[in-house]
Structure 1
Amino acid sequence: MNYQRYIDWADDRIVEDSRKVILAFLVVTVLFGAGLGNISTNAGTQQFTTGLPAEEAFEEVNTKFSPAFSADTGSTQLIQSETNVLAKPAMLRMLRTQESLEQNDDLRVTSTSSAAAIVARELNPSATTTEAQIRTLERSTDSEIDAAVRNVADNPQFTGLLSNDFNRKSAAASATIGVVTHELPAGLSSGSGQGGDSPLTDIQRQTEFTVDTTGAGSLTVFGAGILAEEFSNVVADSLILTVPAALIFILLFLSIAYRDLADMALGLGALFMAIVWTFGFMGLAGIPFSQMLIAVPPLLLAVGIDFGIHAVNRYREERENGTDIGRSMRITTDQLLVAFGIVTGTTVIGFLSNLSSDLPPIQDFGYVAAVGIVFTFLIFGVFLPAAKVELDRLRERYPIPTFSQRPLGSEGSRLGGVLRGGVVIAERAPVVFLLVILVVTGGAGMYATGISTSFSQDDFLPPEDNPDWIESLPEPFAPNDYTVTETTNFLDEKFTSSQGGDVTIYVEGPMRSDDALEQIHRAGEDPPDSFVREDGRADSTSIVTVIMDRAERDPDFRALVSRNDHNDNGVPDDNLEEIYEYLLSSSSRSQALNYITEDYRATRITYQVEGDASDSAVTEDAQTVADEFRFEATATGGTVVFQAVSDVIFESAIVSLAIALSGTAIFLVFIYWVIEGRPSLGIVNVVPVIVTVALLAGTMRYLGIPLNAITGTMLALTIGLGVDYSVHVVHRFADEYHTADLVTALDRTVRGTGGALFGSMLTTVFGIGVLALAVFPAIGQFGILTALSIVYAFLTSLLVLPSVLVVWSRVTNVWPGDFRSLSRRRSVLPGDDD
């Protein structure tokens, strides 16, 4: 396969038609720039749960067990914290706040509830309005109120609104929750995740303002709308903090790498062009910007900076030898277009491996990043060289200021001496060194098997307390005031009791079948460890508990149930349709429809779970219970959905790693067979990447960084980024090995390519490392891990790879001149003597 003619064609366009190339790229930039205005945003956890079976079941539960034709509603929590929220003054504050909210038409309040309202109704059953409840409490004595609190202490609706420290004897608790229900002007998803724009946001912010103006300082407003707003704000604040910092570091290290103002301007312009093309493509393709995609610009910068420094540095090497502009660039692009193409191919494979994930945001990330890398290849492989040619031709005609044009790592420089450390090891003890690396890699890989996996709202929210230096930043860098994390931590602390939550079993089947209710009843026997027990059975609510509750209060219904209960366990097992019809025609209709559909084709059972049970244990136990049903049953609920996402993240990380590694290896073997006739070089190329992945995975466990929605992509991305460094070394080595001995080829490689890699490594490590400043925790972790992966890739490429190449040369018995010599043909470049 003679690919060289295509490289020659590109060389001609870059050198001979440089102005046309520049103009074409600028026109395309304008076209992509038009798409920037179409970019939308998508934030929060909801985007990750879409499409999962547990989430689909959760959606069906919320849809089927809501009142038919009811208005869309949303709820706001009023969190009250005082010395004793059950004292008369505190309860009056809560009720007066409820009353002020009910009177504000803009808030579209349909109902309010609180522990204070329950106590007031206990004192006066006819106090059905908030106004009447306030009057009742105002007229009651403290001792009467305390007695009423003790009377309702067995009511789970009452205790469910109180903090864990509720003391029945002293009628005291330090916190309580009131609930305000709003009718919404637009639909609101009832999924388990939150994020994006929410119709509740404006209402809840108005609610917050109203509560503040009433002087109820002990009350905090919380809800899905506020949560959604902070999910979005954290993305914007992270960008505002990290982008300027990244620019500062990039400018600093690019100035060191280029050491020439005009060259640096070209590099920065190309980076800007890559960002515009990528995000313009997103806008034109209708791909929303999510938290996952915050990582795309740094990744493009990492590869773009690497390409730019390599192109300019390689060109300077030829220019330093006295070669003219056109011939120097032909030699540069003749070599680097191949290297850049290999890097692009392997990096794209690493990114596209994320398409194997079942999570749409991770798929979008892989797709956008892959497209962006292709754009980066075109811009830095074609546009930048053409612009550099045109710039240097202008320098010959005009007095454009020129600073240092000496390549990094040139012979005799201090940097060059440091970089050849790997060559020294390779000369003296390559086999021993590789055996040590093998042990370290194996140990790191084994240690990494203990990496944890997580998926929670905390991954998408800022820390409760930002560092002082962030809080002291001036506008526009100062972040928003975040309250959600503090509120959620308070709720976890105060309201997480032995009953830590619930899970739902969604059952679809003929609920008229005689054994339908018996299946539900049997499922509660001998419950798993994570389920709360009550009298030896699982603590649950279902259509069975609704029937039992109605039977206790209604003699006629009790007789009906008894006639159709053949085994006398209180659960009817005959004429179930008649049982259901009685319930739906009684005052228990709304309660029954919370657990069974009107067509009697689906039901749900809610089980209480222990507060100290892990999400994985709860999910596994819920699935075990669901499997006991003869009908189709699905375990669902917030806990199950989030655990399902966590499981998918882990599976995606492993699958994408396997795809990226195998795909990269196959690609490299093929490419080196085509360009050098030595497919074994492809395997050599992968060795430092494997070491890098193992070291990074071990570091993740050591630092306590879990595989979450963001960091779950890191292992595959490490292959995509790490192979960048090893490809440059191997390809340059193969090129030098055509005409030089083994040690000389290695020496030239680490001095020339190693110098460019060093400049690229410093720039990208600090440019991406600034993501650690993000107020979005998962992105901060992503930045740290990406920076570490680049450092590891740099070190393994310059320290490990020389020894691997030496051993490869011995094993394959390859010597200079044995190559197919297709990648570099100075003797046939235009301007050479034939």
Structure 2
Amino acid sequence: MSWLLERMARAVARTPTLVLLALLAVTVVLGGFATQQTTDTDLTSFAPDSDLARAFERVEDEFSGGGARVQVIIDAGEGEQVLSPAGLAAADAIAGAVRAEESIDLAAGGRGVASFGSPVFGALEAQGLDPADASPDEIAAAAELAYEDPRAAQALDLLSGEPGGARAGLVVIELDPSLDDAEAAEDQLAVAEVIATVVADTSELEIDAFSQAILADQLQGQSQEEMPRLLGVSLLLIVGILAFQYRSVSDVVLGFLGLIVTIMWMFGLGVLLGPDFLGVVGPFTQISTAVPVLLVGLGIDYAIHLTSRYREEQNHGVEPDRASAVAVRAVGGALVLATITTVVGFLTNVVSPLPPMADFGIFTAVGVVSAFLVMALLIPAARHVLDARPRGQAKVQRRRERVMANEAAGRTAQASGLSAVMGRTAAFAEHIPRITLAVAAVVTVAAGAAATQIETSFSQDDFIPEDSEPGMVLDKVDRLFGGDLTEQTYVIVDGDITDPQALDALEQAEAELADAEYVRSSGGAAEVTSPLSLLRQLADQDPAFAAAAADLGFDPAGGLADGADPDALFELARESAPAFSAQVIGDDSASALLSIATNAGQDDAQAAADAIDSAVAPLRDAGLETVVVSQFLVFDEVLDAMTDSQTQGIAITLVAALALLIAYYWVVARKPLLGAITMVPSVAVVGWILGTMVLLDISFNVLTAMVASIGIGIGVPYGIHVTHRFLEDRRRHDTVDEAVRQTLTHTGGAMAGSAATTAAGFGVLVFASLEPLRQFGLIVALTIVYSLVAAVLIQPACLKLWGEWRTRKGDVGEMPDEKQRHAPTAVGSGVPS
């Protein structure tokens, strides 16, 4: 550590311009990689490495082949009827506009567009009536007749109620299943644009398009509108607090510049470590948004401590080159230790069963190292360059004259601003250390007990504001149609599906599914896509296929005849509809997929899976293997893993940081107890913040799940800074009380500036529209405030008692003379004994 700090100190003192140019070069390179950063918003990326997660991957990789659906809601409004001239005209306009758009790749056959109005159009045309000129009574009569036909049973699901009083209807647009994810997303957005042109011509109806890609695009657009406003307010707050702390424009600018460079380095290195390059980590996810928050907290902390020490040296007349070197040497030891401890703590996340959380630990570790290197080089080197100019030298001279005048008058410089406020908190440690620790212990134990009641949530709905357009559309889908009609639960079937006995079992399973709870049905039959439904649908749509299938022993109404040739039937299906066949039939017909329309939602996903598993028992009786899986089941598994990993992750992080600190202070200073004392703020903060989450009814989600790690990440450096400066001041001053007071005045003031800046900046997130983001902003702000309180009240009380205990043992330290009082810590000395 001393070797590294010595070379960094020499570099900023002797060649500051070269240091700045080197930082610029690295930033340009990493910035180029940072522009390639993308975020994976699919919550299934959180799935642990489990049988269920691997089964869901099989569904996506082996059977889905891409594609997607867009649901278009036509809402006539409360008390109105969608089966009206206007409603049918809107449905017809939407279907026609989508079919006419050449850039949209629809599924083949009649699956491309399914409309609630199709049966009614057919009934009207059969009566010789023009749908555009039909009266409401004629439409009502045609609808009653049309929906009695069993073939229109599936269209009934596209109405929000009975035909005689349906308020809303759906037009479902199914894209070509051969599209990959990117192409399908592009087509979904193209559908939304087409629908928007229809909406512009319709005033009496509400028309909304919904799909995962459209939802993601709307949320991203809302975020792009909202974030500049929030960041603008955050920027003003941070500038104001830093200006109060520094009273120097250049110090404020350098602090912000360091943060920007740090975050750019983190994103650039994250891309290099990502799947497109080294493959060490996966892509950035929603949980990775916590990394810049932590880096801002640590980066500002590093910058303020370096700047404060630099200016402290200059206040005693030290020249810029020497002041920059002293800042690195004196503060750098604490910064290196804080960096190592924080990195080790966050790297313990790699044991998490959830890949994004493991990646979070790596991203944070990379960012923390980047923050140390950037700030420890940029701040002192830039200050050296700026203050070496004639204007800077004049300021240095004025500071020297003020110090000399004070010394001549027998006065010492007085602390001001946040430093003065923090200095006054020393009274707690000086006069009532035991009472302070007793109160803190009671609060921590009570908060820790409350923390056992904290809940965990994992749902995509958490990231959709209820009052936003996507939120209102989702609410409408749920309220009018009983949930998302694209919800699917899957059954993977492994075994020879060409065996006639297996196909008989499949037919029996489909009949059982019609009565299973949470399974959607039409006309008494379950809505299931399977190898048999594939054959039936192709036969209904294509007379040539029906004739060829009949020759091979298949009848859509009667099923397989004795002596049928399943191998030839499935080969015929592959030739007629390869993309559709790939969705239900595996390679070599050794597996199959049943896609079952369900309405369980996340809350009842397991109950639906149990009901489906019972219904497909005939397949297992026929010697086939079955696995029931859905996206919601994966979410539930992630939820369980998050719950199980929280306590384990917090414990591992705390133990790892504690062991490192005890080892460090034992090796360097033969004072291992200081390692435990240094961890006091972190332990207290974790308990306080978890207890606060329970009191505020905030659960763990993909963002707040990292709050304990952030508490440790911020609390550990605060504790290290206090301990490091206390040992230095204990060597300089005669009494423990004076050492505590000076520590809180200088280091405490720097920490207060860092805490105020970071807490205010991210507290602005409480005005965000997303509830998890609001909760995250509040919890992070409270975590930072708690870390400061623990570092300036609890830890000094511990150091006070420890210092008195050491004094009673005869370890009173050096008795400083006037020259030693302001002497910087010698390079290589580590922590004074």
Classify the secondary structure of the residue corresponding to 1:85: coil
- Structure 1: runs of 5+ lacking an equivalent: 466-482, 562-569
Aligned equivalents of 1:608 and 1:199: distance in 2? 23
2:217 to 229, 253, 266: 229
Mapping of 1:476-495 within 5 angstroms? 483-495=469-481
1:809 and 1:627, CA in 2 relative to 1: closer, same or farther beyond 3 A?
farther
Aligned equivalents of 2:126 and 2:57: distance in 1? 37
2:23 to 16, 22, 25: 25
Classify the secondary structure of the residue corresponding to 1:437: helix
* Mapped contact 2:520–2:599 kept (Cα < 8 A): no
Q: Tell me the equivalent position of 2:454.
A: 451
* Mapped contact 1:356–1:652 kept (Cα < 8 A): no
Aligned equivalents of 2:605 and 2:756: distance in 1? 41
Aligned equivalents of 2:755 and 2:373: distance in 1? 21
Q: Tell me the equivalent position of 1:209.
A: 197
1:736 and 1:539, CA in 2 relative to 1: closer, same or farther beyond 3 A?
farther
* Mapped contact 1:347–1:720 kept (Cα < 8 A): yes
1:715 is the counterpart of 2:701: no
Aligned equivalents of 1:827 and 1:114: distance in 2? 79
1:608 and 1:139, CA in 2 relative to 1: closer, same or farther beyond 3 A?
closer
Q: Tell me the equivalent position of 1:7.
A: 5
Classify the secondary structure of the residue corresponding to 2:74: strand
Q: Tell me the equivalent position of 2:336.
A: 341
1:101 is the counterpart of 2:90: no
Q: Tell me the equivalent position of 2:756.
A: 762
1:91 to 77, 88, 93: 88
Which amino acid is 1:731 matched to?
H
Mapping of 1:68-467 within 5 angstroms? 73-82=67-76, 83-109=80-106, 111-121=112-122, 134=131, 141-142=138-139, 144-148=141-145, 151=148, 157-163=154-160, 166-167=161-162, 171-183=164-176, 186-188=179-181, 198-213=186-201, 217-282=205-270, 291-395=286-390, 399=394, 411=414, 413=416, 415=418, 418-420=421-423, 422-465=425-468
What per-residue deviation string (whole Å, max 9, x for no partner) do you get for residues 646-678 of structure 1? Answer: 334434544432332222112212222233222
1:728 offset after TM fit, Å? 1.0
* Mapped contact 1:344–1:373 kept (Cα < 8 A): yes
How many equivalent residue pairs? 773
Which amino acid is 1:458 matched to?
D
Q: Tell me the equivalent position of 2:653.
A: 660
Aligned equivalents of 1:44 and 1:402: distance in 2? 59
Which amino acid is 1:114 matched to?
S
* Mapped contact 1:739–1:817 kept (Cα < 8 A): no
Aligned equivalents of 2:143 and 2:758: distance in 1? 65
Aligned equivalents of 2:504 and 2:799: distance in 1? 71
1:788 to 782, 804, 810: 782
1:112 offset after TM fit, Å? 1.7
* Mapped contact 1:521–1:544 kept (Cα < 8 A): no
1:246 offset after TM fit, Å? 2.5
Aligned equivalents of 1:116 and 1:62: distance in 2? 32
Q: Tell me the equivalent position of 1:474.
A: none
Which amino acid is 2:315 matched to?
E
Aligned equivalents of 1:265 and 1:413: distance in 2? 22
1:631 and 1:724, CA in 2 relative to 1: closer, same or farther beyond 3 A?
farther
What per-residue deviation string (whole Å, max 9, x for no partner) do you get for residues 24-49 of structure 1? Answer: 32333333344344444544546545
* Mapped contact 2:330–2:825 kept (Cα < 8 A): no
Which amino acid is 1:464 matched to?
D
1:636 and 1:828, CA in 2 relative to 1: closer, same or farther beyond 3 A?
closer
* Mapped contact 1:188–1:199 kept (Cα < 8 A): no
1:702 and 1:419, CA in 2 relative to 1: closer, same or farther beyond 3 A?
same
1:33 and 1:601, CA in 2 relative to 1: closer, same or farther beyond 3 A?
closer
* Mapped contact 2:89–2:132 kept (Cα < 8 A): no
State TM-score, norm by structure 2.
0.79
* Mapped contact 1:737–1:816 kept (Cα < 8 A): no
1:601 to 575, 581, 590: 590
Which sits farther off after the overlay, 377-386 or 633-642? 633-642
1:153 offset after TM fit, Å? 9.1
% same residue: 26
1:749 and 1:186, CA in 2 relative to 1: closer, same or farther beyond 3 A?
same
* Mapped contact 1:672–1:682 kept (Cα < 8 A): yes
CA RMSD of aligned residues (A): 4.8
1:793 offset after TM fit, Å? 0.4
Mapping of 1:662-681 within 5 angstroms? 662-681=655-674
1:631 and 1:154, CA in 2 relative to 1: closer, same or farther beyond 3 A?
closer
Aligned equivalents of 1:814 and 1:625: distance in 2? 74
* Mapped contact 2:85–2:132 kept (Cα < 8 A): no
1:805 is the counterpart of 2:761: no
Q: Tell me the equivalent position of 1:58.
A: 56
* Mapped contact 1:186–1:199 kept (Cα < 8 A): no
1:125 and 1:721, CA in 2 relative to 1: closer, same or farther beyond 3 A?
farther
1:715 and 1:13, CA in 2 relative to 1: closer, same or farther beyond 3 A?
same
What per-residue deviation string (whole Å, max 9, x for no partner) do you get for residues 48-73 of structure 1? Answer: 4597654543353356556xxx9x64
Aligned equivalents of 1:411 and 1:549: distance in 2? 89
Aligned equivalents of 2:94 and 2:358: distance in 1? 46
Which amino acid is 2:231 matched to?
V
Which amino acid is 1:426 matched to?
A
Classify the secondary structure of the residue corresponding to 2:731: coil
Classify the secondary structure of the residue corresponding to 2:383: helix
1:508 to 454, 471, 494: 494
- Structure 2: runs of 5+ lacking an equivalent: 277-282, 404-411, 541-545, 817-821, 829-833
1:438 offset after TM fit, Å? 2.5
* Mapped contact 2:494–2:591 kept (Cα < 8 A): yes
Q: Tell me the equivalent position of 1:646.
A: 639
1:282 and 1:9, CA in 2 relative to 1: closer, same or farther beyond 3 A?
closer
1:491 offset after TM fit, Å? 1.0
Which amino acid is 2:764 matched to?
V
1:417 and 1:27, CA in 2 relative to 1: closer, same or farther beyond 3 A?
closer
Which amino acid is 1:348 matched to?
V
State TM-score, norm by structure 1.
0.78
* Mapped contact 1:330–1:829 kept (Cα < 8 A): no
Which amino acid is 2:244 matched to?
I
1:687 offset after TM fit, Å? 1.9
Classify the secondary structure of the residue corresponding to 1:504: strand
Which amino acid is 1:439 matched to?
V
Aligned equivalents of 2:520 and 2:70: distance in 1? 31
Q: Tell me the equivalent position of 2:724.
A: 731
1:789 offset after TM fit, Å? 0.8
Which amino acid is 2:723 matched to?
V
What per-residue deviation string (whole Å, max 9, x for no partner) do you get for residues 718-777 of structure 1? Answer: 211221211111221122233443222211111111111111111111122233344454
1:615 and 1:384, CA in 2 relative to 1: closer, same or farther beyond 3 A?
farther
1:753 to 729, 747, 764: 747
What per-residue deviation string (whole Å, max 9, x for no partner) do you get for residues 332-351 of structure 1? Answer: 32221111111212222344
* Mapped contact 1:692–1:718 kept (Cα < 8 A): yes
1:302 and 1:603, CA in 2 relative to 1: closer, same or farther beyond 3 A?
same
1:791 and 1:829, CA in 2 relative to 1: closer, same or farther beyond 3 A?
closer
Higher helix proportion: 2
